[in-house]
């Protein structure tokens, strides 16, 4: 891809009473514009993602309404909604717009403002009958527990390893001033927390919350007009599920299983970028719960199924390890404002590749980063970034 990221901005994640999702999105956008040294009026297009309005969450807002705060310039602004893969999809569309030659400079932004509790979507929104929600299966904790339970049985992953992943997230979040949960929790405390759906306890899950993040993207050959430290988007892919894959909101499965959509998205992302999983210096993986991070490690090609147990025990996914994963605390520490969570991943990778991540900086001048998000009812989105 001939696309560069030249500006990043973020609004802290967490709970912000009296601040709308659109307000957060506007702040993140202003910070991204300032980082790139450009004005709102310089932008030629924008793609924005927010799921809260579609879910009926008060105060979230529609992304295109940012123009009311940022300026009525006639900007081409397209709203994106693709489950938890919303931000990854928005970035892919922004990159494709530049690749097509239609535009040179634009914005990708995501924000959301979700109420406390759990994600519990309407069954009809994903093509299911009402009974599926009435029996509680739209509460996503049950799906995540079923999926990791089977994976543990098949590949020998143990519950203490789930706790190790969550403890890492909280340690990393404690180093991130924009994270929601900044208190480290020990593996023992995580294991002893309330059991929600076996084998997952309360502190192994992410939670809905609020936040925003934004990127300024441009043609790669113009990147140094805006910054001395551009980060290049080498690939950005989005794929949907195949027949037979076990996905959130799937009430049945055929006998023959197919790989998750992340497998195809990651494979395509590496092929397009011309790099291998072994080349990645820092990765952001969807950790809706700690088991998801473990499974996505394999789905993205970073290890074989079952190898995660030893890799995590050896500290390979820590900030100082061979493959640092979720250096900013991931979803577990930051929470998940759906439209913003994938954009936060890009924000973190750009910081890492610039060398600007502070106390959580990956050592050794990382030069290749990777992002992956997974959205309901079965969408994978991956990207490769380089210096």
Per-residue model confidence as pLDDT tens digits over 307-343: 999 999 999 999 999 999 999 999 999 999 999 999 9
**Average confidence (pLDDT) over 153-171:** 98
What fold is seen in the domain 3-118+205-386? Peroxisomal Thiolase; Chain A, domain 1 (3.40.47)
CB atoms within 10 A of CB 232: 17
Q: How much of the chain, in percent, has pLDDT values that exceed 90?
A: 83
**Which of the 8 DSSP states describes residue 377?**
T
Q: Using CA atoms, how far apart are residues 140 and 125, in angstroms rounded to an integer?
A: 14
Q: How much of the chain, in percent, has pLDDT values that exceed 70?
A: 97
CB atoms within 10 A of CB 321: 15
Task: List the structure tokens of 299.
Answer: 């789905």
Cβ distance 368 to 281 under 8 Å? yes
Contacts 24+ apart (CB under 8 A), 134-141: 137/249, 137/251, 138/249, 140/248, 140/288, 140/376, 141/196, 141/197, 141/200, 141/205, 141/289
Instruction: Give pTM, 2 decimals.
Output: 0.95
Give the domain ranges of the chain.
3-118+205-386
Q: SS3 for 154? A: helix
Strand order in the sheet with 368-375: 76-80, 45-49, 105-113, 210-219, 3-14, 231-240, 379-386, 368-375, 282-284
Helix (H) or strand (E) run with residue 344 in it:
helix 338-354
* Alpha-carbon dihedral sign for residues 159, 165, 168, 174: negative
Predicted confidence at residue 138, as pLDDT, reads: 83
**Average confidence (pLDDT) over 238-246:** 93
Q: Using CA atoms, how far apart are residues 10 and 26, in angstroms rounded to an integer?
A: 10
Q: Using CA atoms, how far apart are residues 240 and 162, in angstroms rounded to an integer?
A: 27
Cβ distance 347 to 8 under 8 Å? yes
Top pLDDT among 137 and 323 is at 323
Q: SS3 for 37? A: coil
User: Please, where are the H alpha helices in 139-221?
Assistant: 140-155, 159-173, 187-192
Q: Using CA atoms, how far apart are residues 205 and 188, in angstroms rounded to an integer?
A: 15
Q: What is the pLDDT of residues 45-90, one digit of tens each?
A: 999 999 866 655 656 778 999 999 999 999 999 999 998 999 999 9
Which residue in 211, 173, 210 sits closest to 28, CA to CA?
Answer: 211
């Amino acid at each position: 891809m001939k696309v560069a990221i030249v500006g990043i901005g973020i609004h802290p994640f967490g709970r912000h009473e009296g601040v709308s999702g659109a307000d957060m999105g506007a702040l993140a956008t202003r910070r991204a514009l300032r980082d790139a040294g450009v004005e709102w009026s310089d932008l030629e297009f924008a793609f924005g993602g927010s799921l809260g309005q579609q879910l009926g969450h008060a105060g979230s807002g529609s992304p295109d309404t940012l123009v009311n705060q940022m300026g009525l310039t006639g900007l081409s602004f397209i709203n994106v909604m693709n489950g938890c893969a919303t931000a990854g999809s928005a970035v892919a569309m922004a990159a494709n717009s530049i690749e097509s030659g239609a535009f040179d400079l634009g914005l990708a932004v995501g924000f959301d403002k979700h109420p406390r509790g759990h994600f519990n979507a309407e069954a009809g929104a994903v093509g299911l009958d009402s009974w599926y929600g009435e029996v509680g299966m739209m509460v996503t904790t049950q799906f995540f527990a079923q999926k990791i339970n089977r994976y543990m049985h098949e590949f020998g992953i143990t519950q203490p390893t789930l706790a190790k992943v969550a403890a890492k997230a909280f340690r990393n979040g404690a180093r991130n001033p924009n994270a929601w949960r900044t208190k480290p929790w020990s593996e023992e405390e995580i294991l002893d927390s309330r059991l929600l759906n076996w084998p997952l306890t309360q502190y192994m899950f992410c939670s809905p919350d609020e936040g925003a993040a934004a990127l300024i993207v441009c043609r790669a050959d113009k990147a140094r007009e805006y910054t001395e430290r551009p980060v290049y988007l080498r690939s950005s892919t989005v794929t949907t599920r195949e027949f037979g894959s076990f996905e959130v909101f799937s009430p049945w499965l055929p006998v023959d299983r197919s790989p998750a959509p992340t497998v195809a998205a990651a494979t395509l992302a590496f092929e397009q970028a011309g790099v291998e999983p072994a080349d990645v210096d820092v990765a952001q993986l969807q950790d809706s719960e700690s088991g998801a991070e473990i499974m996505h490690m394999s789905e993205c090609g970073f290890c074989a199924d079952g190898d995660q147990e030893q890799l995590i025990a050896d500290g390979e996914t820590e900030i100082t390890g061979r493959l640092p994963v979720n250096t900013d605390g991931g979803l577990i520490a930051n929470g998940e404002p759906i439209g913003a969570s994938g954009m936060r991943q890009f924000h973190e990778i750009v910081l890492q590749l610039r060398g600007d991540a502070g106390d959580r900086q990956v050592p050794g001048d990382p030069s290749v980063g990777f992002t992956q998000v997974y959205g309901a009812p079965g969408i994978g989105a991956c990207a490769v970034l380089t210096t």
